[in-house]
Amino acid sequence: MKSRLARIIRIGAFSLLAAQMAALPAQAADKLTLQLKWVTQAQFGGYYVAKDKGFYEEEGLDVEIRPGGPDIAPPQVLVGGGADVIVDWLPSALATREKGVPLVNIAQPFKTSGMMLTCLKESGITKPEDFRGKTLGVWFFGNEYPFLAWMNHLGIGTNGGPEGVTVLKQGFNVDPLLQKQAACISTMTYNEYGQVIDAGIAEGDLVTFKYEDEGVAVLEDGLYVLEDRLKDAAFRDKLVRFVRASMKGWKWAEENPDETAEIVLENDASGAQTEQQQQRMAREVAKLTAGSNGALDVADYERTVKTLLGGGSDPVITREPVGAYTLDITSEALK
């Protein structure tokens, strides 16, 4: 009798414990905020895919993706505590680091540069040396660095005159080319070049110069954090899981560009993007992430640094950076 009573008590206690455990909320996912370099578009498709497909959730992460814009400087957001990780270009990150904000590259999803100059064929430009005496549209806010290094490499001044070029501070549009205010403008293979075509200019009426082909390409769209935060083991663990899930998203995006475009559009609160535009962008971006497992290629890094140091009297950076990247996060993520 006593044995039976003891068994009933044990069963009751176990049932009560099980009920209490079931009533407890599931372990909360670790929060992490990603600040993008620009607005919601397929340029960042891998991150939206990772969130939509549950890749972040599988890694125990709750990731907030914040779009950027013309008035948003990702490093400032990072320093202000508004983000844990940012997307930035290496030239901008290194220049920012030299000025005292210790950005560190933790991963490099983009293997290839998509930046180029797109010129009207009627301008007579057939090779870079023909830029002399012409007006060229150039993006600023950190995007001018590779252009200035390229011009220095060519020995072409940027203060106008018949032997130099006149730099037109270009907005994030293609108007200077359409309105023939400039012979060439800055474009990305996945974005503005398509806008020029959509505006009615035939590809046969254009001449393009890819920075990648000209030997002055720099690393674009890397992931950066503040150096001090890498001392926190818990934060490093979150980054490992974040990078692993993000690269899973990028590889899925490479294989499924049209579906990636749909996912991006679902996250575009502005409603400014179109399906055709985002599908084209997703296909072109897939060419830039191809071949990357997320780890920074040190040779690509050194090439970028060499390009930036070659800025003549106005170099982007004045000395070799130290501690500007770590391979530890991707090494752990790739395990």
Answer for the pair 63, 33: CB distance below 8 angstroms, yes or no. Answer: yes
Class of domain 30-111+219-334: alpha beta
Which residue is associated with the tokens 């397929």? 42
Angle between helices 233-255 and 257-266 (to 10 degrees): 120
The beta strand positions in 219-301, using DSSP E, are: 222-226
Residues 6+ apart with CB under 8 A from 209: 116, 117, 119, 128, 184
Q: What are phi and psi of 210, to 5 degrees?
A: -85, 130
For 281, the token pair is: 């962008």
Q: Would you say the CATH fold of 115-210 matches that of 30-111+219-334?
A: yes
Residues 6+ apart with CB under 8 A from 326: 104, 105, 106, 230
Can you give the residue ranges of every domain in the chain? 30-111+219-334, 115-210
**CATH topology (fold) of 115-210:** D-Maltodextrin-Binding Protein; domain 2 (3.40.190)
CA distance 11 to 196: 73
Answer for the pair 131, 165: CB distance below 8 angstroms, yes or no. Answer: yes
Please list the pLDDT of the chain residue by residue as tens digits (335 residues): 444 444 434 444 444 444 444 444 457 899 999 999 999 999 999 999 999 999 999 999 999 999 999 889 999 999 999 999 999 999 899 999 999 999 999 999 999 999 999 999 999 999 999 999 999 999 987 678 789 888 988 999 999 999 999 999 998 899 999 999 999 999 999 999 999 999 999 999 999 999 999 988 999 999 999 999 999 999 999 999 999 999 999 999 999 999 999 999 999 999 889 999 999 999 999 999 999 999 999 999 999 998 888 766 667 788 999 999 999 999 999 99
CA distance 49 to 55: 8
Give the model's pLDDT for residue 263: 98
Q: Give the side-chain half-sphere CA count within 13 A for 284.
A: 20
Three-state DSSP class for 9? helix
Q: Torsion angle, CA of 103/110/167/136, rounded to 10 degrees? A: 180
Give the model's pLDDT for residue 82: 98
- The arrangement of strands across the sheet holding 184-188 comes to 166-169, 135-138, 184-188, 115-120, 206-210
Give the model's pLDDT for residue 2: 42
What are the Cα distances from residue 249, in Å, to 22, 60, 295? 32, 15, 15
Give the model's pLDDT for residue 144: 83
